[in-house]
Chains A and B, each alone.
Chain A
Amino acid sequence: MTQSSDTSGEHPSIAFSDTPSPPSPYRKAALNGLWKNNAALVQLLGLCPLLAVSNSTVNALGLGLATLFVLVVSNTIVSLVRHQVQSAIRLPVFVMVIAAATTCIELVMQAVTFQLYEVLGIFIPLIVTNCAVLGRADAFACKNPVGLSAWDGAVTGFGFCWVLLLVGMIRELLGQGTLCANMQLLLPFWPESAHFSFGPNYRQFLLAALPPGAFITVGVLVALKAGIDRWLTQHANCKKTPIVAGSKRVRVTGQIT
């Protein structure tokens, strides 16, 4: 039985280690984009579409997916050309790329999901002004390789999308008394009757249907997120420091460092 020496430098599959391996950049980007540095709840970017279009589930999902597409495409292109673009002109170039991506998605939506395009109206081209898109291009895509930049665009987009979707569902339920109504405008396979409704006698909560209600909903979500974060850190702290039983002497003389 020859004992194979590990000359390849690769660790065997079972590694006993006290310190966890550092998270891969993909995992880190995903955690940031979806939660820690969420574009809508933490960075508070893209508030204009977030508040204006989140009045129903289908609108929110439609614009969320459009923004996601623009984020992925713009991040990819910016990352591809990041070595060619000089620093002084990078912002005009990024804006041009984002504008092109937005124009293309607008044309595609007009061709494929026409009714939803009419409903979303001006908010599709307004994706260009969404600071989250330019922010990711300048903060991440121009400094990182293509695969990672595309991934970052995707997770930032998903992070924005889930918040948009949640606000959309809340506002639709309270403001119109339905949930997922008219989803067939976006997803053609969705049967028109498959939505929840409180019924025609539902007294619509007008505040939820108007922009101030959107502000309040987002504010509540930001507070909830902060609360969850605090609970999570407290939970983690409790686990970290093991409580040692025994007397604890406090030093009150001499040099206290």
Chain B
Amino acid sequence: MTKSHRPVTQPPPHNAAPSLTRNPFLRATLSMGALLAAFALATLTLCMLTAWLTRPLIEKNQQQALVQTLSQVFPHDKFDNDLMASTVVIAGEPLGYKKEITAYIPKLQNRATGLIFTIATHEGYGGTINLLIGTDRQGTLTGVRVLPPHPETPGLGDKIETKKSDWILGFTGRSLQNTPTKKWAVKKDGGTFDSFTGATITPRAVVSSVHQALVFFNEQGRELVRTNNP
């Protein structure tokens, strides 16, 4: 009988850890993983540092942009307060939002002169258009602006921007009193508002949304302004 040439195997040692680190493949993987983690930490720290350094400036910019937009829809001579300090939180559902939104109350010599709020229409051609509405206490529009970004087509629906045309300025001064409900539509639908060549859906959505905003003001906004008047 010949002895079979079977290799003699030893049982694995109890403590397996030393053999793992002696494995060159695993050691290479671990070292690369450590290097990746080190780089992740370094890049993250750099980003956090930059964010911390730029935060005050960014916040100031965002406030400034907001105030600038707000003052476009309300005449400067009709308010003298800090709009950012004169806010009220209202339910967003009647205005097309899922959660509460912030409305601003402009005041002249501590007496409220109107309301500034946003409304969203989901009937835009490309999606949701956000409008900033300014009204006085009687419910007459003091200004309407489209809040960027909007999804309407460049060259066609984007005429709702003041940069592209003066169309949105045509809302200033209108109210539910001086414009009957039938006339709150584009000319094609029997109303008084122009539509754009090649784009009807966009102006239609904006007109209907501004009308809805005035209805909201009639139903809830007036009361809101009254109760928030010191």
Contact = CB atoms under 8 A, between A and B. Distances in A.
Contacts of B47: 100, 103-104, 107
B46 A88 contact: no
Contact of A107 (B39, B54, B154): B54
A107 B59 CA distance: 11
18 contacts: A85-B35, A86-B32, A89-B36, A96-B39, A99-B43, A100-B44, A104-B47, A104-B50, A107-B47, A107-B50, A110-B54, A111-B54, A111-B57, A121-B149, A206-B155, A209-B154, A210-B154, A210-B155
Interface in A79-122: 84-86, 88-89, 92-93, 96-97, 99-100, 103-104, 107-108, 110-112, 114-115, 118, 121
A204 interface: yes
B67 interface: no
A216 B229 CA distance: 59
B149 to A, nearest CB: 7
Contact of A92 (B36, B44, B64): B36
Interface string B19-53: 00000000010011001100110011011001100
A210 B50 CA distance: 35
B32 A111 contact: no
Contact of B50 (A85, A108, A118, A121): A108
Interface residues of A, number: 26
B65 interface: yes
Given A103-B47, A210-B155, A108 B39 contact: no
B169 to A, nearest CB: 15
Q: Return the 8 tightest CB-CB contacts between A and B, nearest first.
A: A100-B43, A111-B57, A114-B61, A111-B54, A104-B50, A206-B155, A107-B54, A103-B47
B61 A86 contact: no
A93 B39 contact: yes
A204 B155 contact: yes
Interface of A: 84-86, 88-89, 92-93, 96-97, 99-100, 103-104, 107-108, 110-112, 114-115, 118, 121, 204, 206, 209-210
Contacts of B154: 209-210
A97 B42 CA distance: 9
Interface of B: 28, 31-32, 35-36, 39-40, 43-44, 46-47, 50-51, 54, 57-58, 61-62, 64-65, 148-149, 154-155
A107 B28 CA distance: 36
Contacts, number: 59
A256 to B, nearest CB: 59
Given A206-B155, A209-B155, A114 B43 contact: no
B33 to A, nearest CB: 8
A104 B44 CA distance: 11
Nearest to B163: A182
Given A107-B58, A108-B50, A114-B65, 9 more contacts: A85-B35, A86-B31, A86-B32, A89-B35, A99-B43, A103-B50, A107-B51, A114-B61, A118-B65
A114 B67 CA distance: 14
B32 to A, nearest CB: 5
A114 B50 CA distance: 16
A112 B57 contact: yes
A111 B58 contact: yes
A94 to B, nearest CB: 10
